[in-house]
Amino acid sequence: MTQTRSETVITKEQSIDKYRITREPFYLNIKDEVSIFETAYKAKLPVMLKGPTGCGKTRFVEAMAYRLGRPLITIACHEDLSATDLVGRYLLEGDDTVWHDGPLTTAVRHGAICYLDEVVEARKDTIVLIHPLTDDRRILPVEKLGILLNAPDDFMLVISYNPGYQSVLKDLKQSTRQRFLSFDFDYPPPEAETQVVAHEGGVSESVARDLVKIGEKVRNLKGHGLEEGVSTRLLVYAAQMIARGVDPVTACEISIASPITDDDELQRSIREIVTTVI
């Protein structure tokens, strides 16, 4: 029985090259996170990145993957992400049953950096799957194939989550949390953020400074009506719009005021802040 099955089963491995990062992503080292991350990588320890949305977590991982020369496999977690989705599954192709490696399996096989974005969004039974990979065992059991994959030294697991807005129900369990080194991310300090916005958005430094100032003011409203401050990402969007000739106030309107809230009054106050600064 096993014999026959193994004949018909074709295992499809994902090509790893598409996961390689070829151009250096722009990342501005704020404190010493780059060197610490490198140390963690050498020590083969998994890393957790905490911080609000759009503050540069993903960019950081990309930059590190590039620095370390490893492919990066990013998995955006969601409520229906199952173990199968991560590890791999059999698919019918014509008459054949073909095994497809999941992203996690691919990462382990090739010693890539596997980045689980917004990990709390994943179901608890899914998260448990990564546990054996995150301690000194560094193994991934692939039950459907009946094999245990040993992670090579190159492999690294990185997860990220935003402690701010998710509900209590979606908190990360201690048994998971305590397997990771944790990096706290926040919006970069004004000077750094100005550089980021100027570089990424392709605008002059003075425009970038204005945008950062707006960002700072709008972030003051967090908790006073806003669930989350405006992200660096949105500031960069605004900068990009401005760089392409959109009127600055309109750019801020569509990339700052409107995205972060539906509340009319709040939007209006943000607009007033925008027109105060610009």
Partner 1 sequence: MSEERKGFTGSLLKGLTRSTVESLAMKMGLKPHERGWVTVDTGASLMSVSPKVAMDFFKTVPDVARLLENGDLRNWADIGRRIAVNNIDEACEFYRSSSGILEPLSERLRSLLIALCSKQIVLSPVAALTTFKQAPQLVLSFRDEHSAIRLFAIAVEVAHRSVKHSTEVLTAAPKALAVLQSFDAQAGSQVDESPVKAVLDLAESFAQRTGATAAEFLSAVGEGMDFIERPSDIIELCGQTAFFLERGGATALQYFRSARSVIEVGGAESFDKWSRVTRKVAEEGNAIVYDFLKMTPKVLSTLTLTLKRRAPERVNSVLDIVEELASQNVYIALECFKSSPRALVTASLDQFQTWAREGAELYRQDRRKAQAYYALESKSSQDSLRGARDGVSLESVSHLLRLYVEGLTGREMTIAPLGTIPEESKISDGQTIQLPSVIAEFGSPEDDFRLYKVLAAHASGQVEFGTRIAGTTDIRAALKEIDLYYEQKEKRRLAEGLEDDEFVQYSNIEHLGMRVRPELDPERLETADYKLVLSRFPNHLLATRIFTTLENGRIDWRLRSAYRGIRRDLDFVRSRLIERRPSFAQLTVEQAVYEMLFQITLCGGVIDDMARRAYGEVINQFERIVADYLRKDDTTVGDTLMATFRVYELLDGQRQQNESESDSSDDTQQSEKDESGDSSQDTDSQQQAMQVQRRPELFNQWSQAVEEVTSTDSELLNELMNAETSEQELHEGDEVFYYDEWDRELGDHRARWCRIIQRLNRKGHNDFVEQVRARYSGVISSIRHQFQMLRPESLRKVKGELDGEDFDLQAVIDHHVDKKTTGRPSDRLYIRRIRRERDVAVSFLLDMSSSTARTITRHPNQPYTRPGQKIIDIEKQGLVLMSEALEAVGDAYSISGFTSEGRRNVKYFLIKRFAEKYDHDVERRIGGITYHNNTRLGAAIRHAAAELEKQDARTKLLIVLSDGRPYDHDYGDSRYAREDTKIALRQAKIQGITPFCITIDRESEAELKDLYGEVGYTIIDDVMSLPERLPGIYRRLTT
Nearer CB in complex with partner 1: 79/262: 79
Please answer whether residues 235 and 256 qualify as being in contact, where contact means their C-beta atoms are separated by less than 8 angstroms.
Answer: yes
Q: Report how far residue 42's alpha carbon sits from residue 244's, in angstroms, rounded to the nearest whole number.
A: 42
Secondary structure of residue 159 in the 3-state scheme? strand
Q: Report how far residue 14's alpha carbon sits from residue 174's, in angstroms, rounded to the nearest whole number.
A: 33
CB of 86 to partner 1, least distance (A): 11
Strands in 72-76's sheet, in edge-to-edge order, are 72-76, 113-117, 156-161, 47-50, 181-184
225 binds partner 1 (CB under 8 A): yes
Identified binder of partner 1 from the candidate list 5, 18, 23, 224, rule CB under 8 A: 224
268 binds partner 1 (CB under 8 A): yes
163 binds partner 1 (CB under 8 A): no
Task: Tell me the site size for partner 1, rule CB under 8 A.
Answer: 27
CB of 272 to partner 1, least distance (A): 5
Nearer CB in complex with partner 1: 140/273: 273
170 binds partner 1 (CB under 8 A): no
CB of 187 to partner 1, least distance (A): 13
Q: Report how far residue 140's alpha carbon sits from residue 108's, in angstroms, rounded to the nearest whole number.
A: 8
| Burial class for 30, CB neighbours closer than 10 Å (0-12, 13-18, 19+) | middle
CB of 193 to partner 1, least distance (A): 16
Nearer CB in complex with partner 1: 12/42: 12
Query: H or E stretch including 140?
Result: strand 139-142
Identified binder of partner 1 from the candidate list 210, 211, 251, 255, rule CB under 8 A: 210
262 binds partner 1 (CB under 8 A): no
Nearer CB in complex with partner 1: 69/94: 94
92 binds partner 1 (CB under 8 A): yes
Question: Which residues on neighbouring strands pair with residue 181, listed in sequence order?
Answer: 47
Identified binder of partner 1 from the candidate list 39, 178, 258, 276, rule CB under 8 A: 276
CB of 182 to partner 1, least distance (A): 27
Region binding partner 1 by CB under 8 A among candidate stretches 24-32, 85-93, 147-155, 190-198: 85-93
CB of 109 to partner 1, least distance (A): 22
204 binds partner 1 (CB under 8 A): no
Site for partner 1 in 53-82 (CB under 8 A): 79, 82
Q: Note the residues at the interface with partner 1 (CB under 8 A).
A: 79, 82, 84-85, 89-90, 92, 210, 213, 217-218, 220-221, 224-225, 265-266, 268-270, 272-278
